[in-house]
Structure formats: C-alpha cells, structure tokens
Amino acid sequence: MTITDAALLARDVHKSFATATRRVEAVRGVDLEVRAGEWLAVMGPSGCGKSTLLHLLGGLDVADRGTVELDGIDLGTRSESERAVLRRSRVGYVFQFYNLVPDLDARENVEIAAQLAGAGRRDARRRTEALFDELGLAGALDASVTELSGGEQQRVALARALVNQPAVLLADEPTGALDTDSARAVLALLRRAHDDGQTIVMVTHDHRVAAAADRILVMQDGQIRDERTLASADGPVLADLLPLDR
Amino acid sequence: MKFVFLALLAPGRTHGYELKRRYDALFAAVWGPVNIGQIYVTLGRLEKDGLVTPEAVGQDGRPDRKDYELTDRGAQALDAWLAQSDAVPLPKSDLVLKLVGASLRGTGDARSIIGEHRQHCFQALRDLDTAAADLEPDSVAGLLAQGNALHLQAELSWLDHCESVLGSGPLRLTTDDTTSGAVP
C-alpha cells in the first residue's frame, strides 16, 4: 500500500486480449494517479483502450502486469470474490446503456445495490429516496425502468452508482446514448457530485463533456498520449445553448 | 469593422459613445468590449471616405458633441456589403505553420505542439460554457457562442486526427516540399 491521497493509482498497467487470430494489447504501460475529489476525463479513438482501462481501474478486470490500487488497496492481490465486494462498496459504475435490471422498478434497482453492499433494508430505502429527490427523480421511484426515458434511466443508473458513496465513480460514455437535453442533465448531476467531493473517472468521445472535467487524458494505442489539466474557475455547468459533439 | 459601424448608424445618427454601447450590447459577451478609441479612429476614416458625416450638437455647459450620420454613399456602401457573398471561413492554420516551422527548425515535436494547442482549445471551450450560461440561444451573442463552440469542437477533433496520423516526432517534410515551394 502506498501512502497517498490518490483514490486510484495505476502503475505500468498492461492488459491484452486474445482474439481468434491474434493478441491485442489493449492497455500498454499506463501510469495514472487520480486524486481524491478529482474529475478525470479519458478520451481517444475507438479501440484505444480507454474502456479497458476503466474496467481495470474499477476491478471489473485484472491487469496482466502492473498494479492498480483502489482507495489504497492493491486489486491484483485480491481474489475475484474480494474484488466483487470492493466493487460493490467502493466503486460506482455508470455505463452508456444504463444496464438497469428490467424486472425491477427504479427504486429496487438502487436499493438492491445498497443492500448488496451491506446496507439494511430501511437504510437502503432511505438513501435511495434521498438520492431520487436530489437527482430530480422523486416521481419515478416506483416506475418500471422500461417505462422511463433514456435520460431518466441514466439518472437511475447514476443513483445506483452513488448510493454506496463510492470512493470512485467510473462512467463509460455516460452521455453517449442520450439526447442533448438529457446529456446536459446527467452532466449537471455529475458536476454536482463532483462539487460534493466525488472522485470521477469518465470515458467520453465528446470534447465539450470532457471540458467539464478537471483533467483530460488522451489515449491512443493503449497508451496515454497527452494529458491536460484545465484551470478550474468554478467548473462550468454546460450552457443550454451550446451544441454537444454528435 | 467599418461595416459594423455603418450598420450601427443605419437606424439614425448618433455619437461615438452610443455606438460603443450598441456594439457592446450585441457582441461584448463573446467578443469582448470594443475600444472607444477604435470607434473614433474608424469614424474618422469613414468621414474621410465620405461614408458618414458629422454634426456638432450643443450641450448645456459642456463642449459640443459630435453626432455621425450615414451619407447616401455610406448607405450604398453598406447595402453593397450586405449583398456581397462572404469568403468561405477556412482560415490558414497557425498550428500547421508551427508544425512545419518546428520541423524545419529541427526542434519539432508534433505531439507537444498539438498538446499545447489542445489545452488552449479545451480551456476556451470550458470558458465558453461558463460565459454562455446566461445567453439566449437566439441572441447575437448566443449565435456567436454557438459558432465558437462548434469551431472549437471541430478543431479538437482535428487535433485528435493530426495526432493519430502523425504519431510522435516531427511533421515529416520531403526535400521536395521544402525546395519546390509546396509548403502550405
């Protein structure tokens, strides 16, 4: 364990996959430190390794070489079941296509995540309702998730990701499937979570979305090609009238 | 600039400071305020060209004020400008000139030049979001901000493209490029 205020630490991380014909080196020697409370955006062309990196950082996958530390814990030294416990309690995940459980209503999707991480029923319910309030979803608590719009489903997914107050929120193209207004709403919620101190690592192809983060990494061929830190000001909330990359 | 001031005088005659007020109300949120000195220099040139005419207006206890009015020639010049088609807005890229310059100078690392430029574009996009928070989408400033955002997004996409095409090291110029005058 390293003494640091890093929420995430990656050292010389490598990951490759076998396809039918060859071996693809998806991540090739990435060094990365994400400070607690930082909002990091990861960009790069399709296949550059950015989603793989996100999976490695969140313990969804294990590096072939190198170390990943989440909140000071070296993920490579943990068994799959130990990593599952860590993921449930310390990592919030938001995917492009929400990944909600369609057989559960909106509230249950979030409460279950809290209960799986060890919360009691009443506590899970209380936290879920508070989050729905905060995310402007109070009216959708008992809705079937299949009845919700894409923007609403993504906000439910965000509630699920935040319900355990994770050490880090990992978001893979969180606005990628949304119309412009919903994308702005989700971004505004990420901004608010960030303002409350939430550490966020977000993969996006949208330059304007990336510009809301504190720091931007550009990946190419499995490596970090460029890294840019933006002057913070107060951090923008995306203005309604400006276009997003589409 | 001169046509903007001819247009701002189209509703009727007025003085330099009022022109500044009108200009700033329309454009300052995105382009920044205009310097009053620049307005008087422009008005002086327009007057010399016969496009505007000044008139002294007395003010109680203060020196006379100079109001300006469009002349017939000024109105014609304005109409001709409005009817004229604009140049296609494809600027010569300073970035490419720098990549060529760095390559010729032998100090060229395309990636660091692209990276610096990326930083500026991202920062400008971020600042634009902050500045545009209170603008109306159908206002002049709103349209300017939208245009700037689209330009910056295009520039950032192009930088990503440059980086993936060039990889590391300098921009490669063939001897032919630098001797035949084919450098952009």
For residue A168, the model assigns a pLDDT of: 96
Which SS3 state, helix, strand or coil, does residue A11 take? strand
Put simply, whether A246 touches B (Cβ < 8 Å) is no
Mutation pick from A181, A187, A190, A207 vs chain B, by most beta carbons of B within 10 Å, is A207
Instruction: Please state the φ and ψ torsions of residue B7, each to the nearest 5 degrees.
Output: -65, -40
Cross-chain Cβ contact A211/B126 below 8 Å = yes
- ipTM score of the complex? 0.87
Instruction: Please state the φ and ψ torsions of residue A179, each to the nearest 5 degrees.
Output: -70, 170
Which residue of B118, B146, B160 is in closest CB contact with A242? B146
For residue A181, the model assigns a pLDDT of: 84
C-alpha closest to that of A175 among A160, A159, A197, A157: A157
For residue B169, the model assigns a pLDDT of: 67
For residue A67, the model assigns a pLDDT of: 96
For residue A199, the model assigns a pLDDT of: 96
Residue carrying the six token digits 């004020």 = B65
Which helix (DSSP H) or strand (DSSP E) does residue A74 occupy? strand A73-74
Chain B nearest CA to A93, separation (Å):
25
Burial B12-37 (b: 16+ CB within 10 A, else e): eebbbebbbbbbeebbebbeeebeee
Cross-chain Cβ contact A218/B163 below 8 Å = yes
A67 conformational bin, left if phi > 0, alpha if psi -120 to 50, beta if neither: beta
Put simply, whether B165 touches A (Cβ < 8 Å) is no
> Rounded to an integer, what distance in angstroms lies between the CA atom of residue A153 and that of residue A150?
5
Put simply, whether B120 touches A (Cβ < 8 Å) is no
Put simply, whether B116 touches A (Cβ < 8 Å) is no
Cross-chain Cβ contact A230/B123 below 8 Å = yes
For residue A2, the model assigns a pLDDT of: 47
Beta-carbon count within 10 A of B154 CB: 13
Residue A203 near residue A50, CB atoms below 8 Å: yes
Chain B residue with Cα closest to A230: B123
> Rounded to an integer, what distance in angstroms lies between the CA atom of residue B52 and that of residue B8?
12
Chain A nearest CA to B142, separation (Å):
7
Cβ contacts of A234 on chain B, cutoff 8 Å: 130
Cβ contacts of B133 on chain A, cutoff 8 Å: 236-237, 239
Q: Model pTM? A: 0.85
Q: Where are the alpha helices (DSSP H) in chain A?
A: 50-57, 80-90, 106-116, 121-134, 150-162, 180-195, 207-210
Single-letter residue type at A238: L
Cross-chain Cβ contact A207/B119 below 8 Å = no
Put simply, whether B140 touches A (Cβ < 8 Å) is no
Put simply, whether B130 touches A (Cβ < 8 Å) is yes
A235 conformational bin, left if phi > 0, alpha if psi -120 to 50, beta if neither: left
β B14-15/A168-172 pair status = unpaired
> Rounded to an integer, what distance in angstroms lies between the CA atom of residue B154 and that of residue B11?
37
Q: Which segments of chain B have a pLDDT < 70?
A: 108, 168-169, 174-184
Cβ contacts of A236 on chain B, cutoff 8 Å: 126-127, 129-130, 133
As a whole number, the mean pLDDT across chain B is 89
* A65-70: strand order across its sheet: A23-35, A6-18, A65-70, A73-74
Residue by residue, pLDDT tens for chain A (246 residues) are 445 579 999 999 999 999 889 999 999 999 999 999 999 999 999 889 999 999 999 999 999 999 999 989 999 999 999 999 999 889 999 998 889 999 999 999 999 999 999 999 999 999 999 999 988 888 999 999 999 999 999 999 999 999 999 999 999 999 988 888 888 888 888 998 999 999 999 999 999 999 999 999 999 999 999 999 998 766 677 788 888 876
